[in-house]
Structure 1
Amino acid sequence: MSGSLTGHGKGSIYLTLIVAIILTMVPLPVAIDMFRPDWVALVVLYWVIALPHHLNVVSAWIVGLIMDILLGSTLGIHALSMAVISCVVAAQYQKIRNFSVWQQALVMGSLIFVGQLLIFWVEHLFASPRLNTRFVWASLSSTLLWPSVYLFLRYIRRRFNIR
């Protein structure tokens, strides 16, 4: 089944998304929780770049909606953020693929920062969240982790011949 996404491939993609969701949900000590990268966005953005015809903006929106439910946030906030940043990546995936891993890291970190700002802005419309630097640190840690996430997910994609 060369050239197609087999059931095994879909399972591998879903498994990486589930692991990212679990990493997001695992409680961390308060001192290091602010540095938690946006695991879900990193994984979604990787798959949008690697397989834009299989994991797209709608898929990213669904994953964001799942995050809204699991985090107990206003329904649609994470879905909107995930859809917006995935839309940007999907529109430019061919250019982003040609960047070095560190250039990609800067792009991903910037997009995650924009996504975090979008979440803050929408929350501000419905409530009065405190402005904190959590989203800045999350974007920075996501930027620094992108090369590792990229290499690991590329290994998974090649290992299981996901196309």
Structure 2
Amino acid sequence: MFKHGLLPLILTYLVALVLMVMPMPASIDVYRPDWVTLVLLYWIIALPHRVSIGTALVLGVLTDILLGSVLGVHALGMVVVSYFAARHFQRIRNFSLPQQVILIAFLVLIKRLIVFQANVFIHDAQFTSTYFWPALTSALFWFWLFPLLRKIRRRFGVV
């Protein structure tokens, strides 16, 4: 039914979406990594011929629905960063893991900036100092997530 390991891709997306809405204490919720963007960026770098901007658009709309934000705000941010990742996937693959962490932090920061600016334009959102913490925590989780997703990809033969 699922050709060439499509099921592991879908399951990792679903897990990332669940992690985005999983209840957490308010004191640590501001540090929640951007799971969907992390998983999306991994699959774009690993399988650019299967995962690209269309997937980013769908995941962005699903994120907007789950988080209750204006439809298309997260989708816009994900499409922009996924375009960059898809365009430069060969370079990113050759980066060491610490270099990838810096790039991931930058990409998540860009995505968060786009989402914030869209929210300012749409309904005059107010800036808080904790808004960009997820860029740092997402980068730190990349050290753990990258090898895990690579192991899943190799174990299930996702090509």
Q: TM > 0.5 between the two?
A: yes
Gaps of 5+ in 1: 1-5
- CA shift at 1:60, angstroms? 0.7
Equivalent position to 1:113, from 104, 109, 130: 109
- CA shift at 1:61, angstroms? 0.8
Equivalent position SS for 2:132: helix
> Identity, % of aligned pairs?
42
CA distance in structure 2 between the partners assigned to 1:142 and 1:123 by the alignment: 21
Q: What is the aligned-residue RMSD (CA, Å)?
A: 1.0
CA distance in structure 1 between the partners assigned to 2:138 and 2:66 by the alignment: 21
1:55 maps onto 2:87 in alignment: no
Gaps of 5+ in 2: none
1:30 maps onto 2:26 in alignment: yes
- CA shift at 1:58, angstroms? 0.9
User: Which residue is 1:103 aligned to?
Assistant: 99
Count of aligned residue pairs for this structure pair: 158
User: Which residue is 2:128 aligned to?
Assistant: 132
Equivalent position SS for 2:28: helix
CA distance in structure 2 between the partners assigned to 1:140 and 1:14 by the alignment: 26
- The CA deviation string for residues 86-135 of structure 1, in whole angstroms up to 9 with x for no partner, is 00000000000000011001101100001001000000001121201333
What's the TM-score once normalised by structure 1's chain length?
Answer: 0.94
Equivalent position SS for 1:146: helix
Partner amino acid, structure 1, of 2:110: V
Q: Does the 8 Å contact 1:113/1:135 carry over to 2?
A: no
User: Which residue is 2:88 aligned to?
Assistant: 92
Q: Does the 8 Å contact 2:101/2:143 carry over to 1?
A: yes
User: Which residue is 1:3 aligned to?
Assistant: none
- The CA deviation string for residues 42-79 of structure 1, in whole angstroms up to 9 with x for no partner, is 00000000000101111111100111111111110000
- The CA deviation string for residues 4-63 of structure 1, in whole angstroms up to 9 with x for no partner, is xx5361010000000000000001111000110000000000000000010111111110
CA distance in structure 1 between the partners assigned to 2:130 and 2:7 by the alignment: 32
CA distance in structure 2 between the partners assigned to 1:41 and 1:75 by the alignment: 17
Partner amino acid, structure 1, of 2:107: L
CA distance in structure 1 between the partners assigned to 2:155 and 2:36 by the alignment: 21
1:161 maps onto 2:157 in alignment: yes
